[in-house]
Structure 1
Amino acid sequence: ADFQAIASIAYQEAGLVFPPEKAPLVRSRINRRLRMLKLRSFSEYTHYIATEQGQEERRIMISALTTNVSSFFRESHHFDILRERVLPPLLKSARAGAKIRLWSAGCSTGQEPYSMAMTLLDFAPDAAELDIRILATDIDPNVIIVAKQGYYQERAVRDIPDEMVKTYMRPVQNGGQNGYLVADSLRQLVTFRELNLLAPWPMKAGFDAIFCRNVVIYFDEPTQLDLWPRFEAATKPGGWLFVGHSERLSEKLVTRFCTEGPTAYQLPLSAKPSTETE
């Protein structure tokens, strides 16, 4: 009953699905919270998060239950498409004065948006002088803190091409460990925000490209079917959507997105924008 109560809250608040076989995983992740709060049982914990005083703990619980796995240039073919097909027309528009907006939805500890920024700057070193920005969001405030810090251990940087490491990463020592800090040129392009994808989105402008990869696999089909049209509505005509290697837009979906490569989708240029540009 206690597991079911926790699983139910995780689903209602964040769309996370935990079948009964995931009970040991859930218990192990919540155990630390019990110790921190000096609670003696899961029953006490479920009662606490149901109270007014336990509202903040619900957010902390969602963070504890969220899986955060990320790496630089993960699923590298998406960054090839970004460089070769997405950016050339966008940079042409940007140099003519247009706003360009990219979104990393479910950015975890920041490797994805920083990979986007490296790809952008490598293609267009003048990007910082143009009206180009990357929004990076995640439901977990703890990973947003890590992403903003922009510090990564040496092993995490191995996925970045050597030339990019030299250009965009600064070697530092942290507690006797070798690591790297992202360059200011990357930080200037990326804005990090906490956002629950199931809640209303405050962004008014449409996006030219959205990366939402290995996020919706944690949602059930009804939640996915609600979410994909919202991404479509947030995408500008001609804009792109990139999803994770095990994710697909459902065949049950009526969508204007066209498949343009493995787990890459594009809206036709003639599509009417569903959101206003600021």
Structure 2
Amino acid sequence: MTAAREYKFTRRDFDFLRKLSNARTGIVVSDDKFDMFYSRLARRVRALGLTSFADYCNYLEDPDNDGEMVELVNALTTNLTSFFRENHHFEFLANKALPEAVKRNQKSRSLRVWSAGCSTGEEPYSIAMVLDERQSLYRGWDVQLLASDIDSNVLNQAQRGVYPLQRVEGLAKSRLKSFFQKGKGRQEGKARVRDSLRQRIAFTQINLMEALKVETQDLIFCRNVIIYFDKETKKRLVERFADVLADGGYLFVGHSESLYQVTDRFQLVGNTVYKKVR
């Protein structure tokens, strides 16, 4: 027997909320996410002192409560990541993408890398470690690493750079020594990214469904993000990426993602690695 829900949640409520979240984030929510929506948003109904999801929908419709959209997005976005996830991407970065960008940018002596959808920071910190290890290629250059996410909560976690020890135990000992500090006292059982690495990253909140106000990038990581979008939304986002990516630059996507029949501006050159061709 299914336990009674704390709050009344109807199909009408569900349809309203998923339409609203799609309009704001581009994420397509299937019918089978009904229970997931309830479990993730019931805490917001509770926190606001409301008595039903119908009340919550009405609350969201009030322009004076626009700040609640941030809480809605934070509750619904999935944040699953790890250091050097899909390690082949970082090998490609170190051995091909980065050397090519350095060769291409000898005149400007600058590098721009973007981690779009950075979640709790493991991806941009992994990129930063590779950039540090290969800095002999571009010593003295102007290097900027941008990390963005729509979820303000995970961005705050990323900026702090503090992780449970089990999250970093898979890293090479040399990287642990160079880039992390082991917590003591109240921080025991945790590891903190060293300031020297953390300060190389600019964390900022960006909604990928809006016009991208970023400068030209040499490399873009956007992994396990477009999988949540329908084809038309994917196409719009990939076109935006192409517009801000340097000619010959690379776009890294997730292991279950593909740009096949989405755009002709990128060519597949590696395992979920695409090169901008026009």
What's the TM-score once normalised by structure 1's chain length?
A: 0.91
Please report the RMSD computed on the Cα atoms of aligned residues, expressed in angstroms: 1.7
Moved more, 222-231 or 138-147: 222-231
User: Which one of 261, 269, 272 corresponds to residue 263 of structure 1?
Assistant: 272
In the TM superposition, residue 53 of structure 1 has moved relative to its aligned partner by 2.1
- 2 CA distance for matches of 1:37 and 1:127? 51
Shift in CA distance, 72/193, structure 1 to aligned 2, threshold 3 Å? same
Contact 2:13 2:53 in 1 (8 A): yes
* Alignment partner, residue 3 of structure 1: 14
Q: In the aligned structure 2, how far is the partner of 1:93 from the partner of 1:237?
A: 10
- Amino acid of the structure 2 residue aligned with 1:154: L
Describe the SS at the equivalent of 2:183. Answer: strand
Q: Which amino acid aligns with 2:245?
A: T
Note if 1:181 corresponds to 2:192. yes
Q: Partners in 2 of 1:32 and 1:149 — Cα distance?
A: 25
Unaligned runs of 5+ in 2: 1-11
The residue that corresponds to 2:224 in the other structure is: 214
Deviations 1:39-59 (A, max 9, x none): 010010000000012211012
Given residue 268 of structure 2, which amino acid in structure 1 is its aligned partner? T
Q: Give me the whole-angstrom Cα distance separating, in 2, the residues matched to 1:28 and 1:9.
A: 17
In the other structure, the counterpart of 2:4 is none
Match of 2:58 in 1: 47
Aligned partner of residue 93 in structure 2, secondary structure: helix
1:57-87 deviations in whole A, cap 9, x for unaligned? 0121111000011100000000000000011
What is the 5 A alignment of 1:14-93? 14-92=25-103
Q: Distance in 2 between matches of 1:26 and 1:4?
A: 10
* 1:158-173 alignment, distance < 5 Å: 158-173=169-184
- 1:128–1:189: 8 Å Cα contact kept in structure 2? no
The one-letter code of the counterpart of 1:202 is: K
SS at structure 1 position matched to 2:89: helix
Q: Which residue of 2 aligns with 1:194?
A: 205
- Per-residue CA deviation, residues 3-35 of structure 1 (Å, 9 max, x unaligned), is 111111000000122222101000000011111
Aligned residues of 1:144 and 1:192 also touching (Cα < 8 A): yes
Q: Which moved more, 1:92-101 or 1:128-137?
A: 92-101
Matched residue SS, 1:260 = strand
Which structure 1 segments of 5+ residues have no match?
Answer: 272-278
For 1:99, give the aligned amino acid: S
The 8 Å contact of residues 112 and 219 in structure 2, kept in 1 or not, is answered as: yes
* Percent of paired sites with the same residue: 38
Q: Deviations over 1:74-129 (max 9, x none)?
A: 00000000000011233456665422100000000000000000011011168674
In structure 1, C-alpha distance between the alignment counterparts of 2:185 and 2:28, rounded to whole Å: 37
Query: In 2, Cα distance between the equivalents of 1:3 and 1:24?
Result: 9
**Cα deviations across residues 112-161 of structure 1 (Å, max 9, x unaligned)?**
00000001101116867420111000000111100000101101102322
Cα distance in 1 for residues equivalent to 2:263 and 2:226: 18
CA distance in 2, matches of 1:266, 1:123: 21
Please state how far the C-alpha of 1:189 moved relative to its aligned partner. Answer: 1.7
CA distance in 2, matches of 1:100, 1:172: 32
Sort the Cα spacing of 1:94 and 1:250 in 2 relative to 1 into closer, same or farther, 3 A.
closer
The 2-side partners of 1:94 and 1:160 are apart by 31
CA distance in 1, matches of 2:103, 2:175: 23
Answer with 229-238 or 82-91: which moved more: 82-91
Looking at structure 1, the residues matched to 143 and 43 of structure 2 have their Cα atoms a distance apart, in angstroms, of 41
Q: Output the CA distance in 1 between the equivalents of 2:70 and 2:260.
A: 29
Aligned position for 1:99: 110
When the two structures are aligned, how many residues end up with a matched partner?
Answer: 267
User: 1:221: how far off?
Assistant: 1.5
In structure 2, distance between residues paired with 1:131 and 1:176: 34
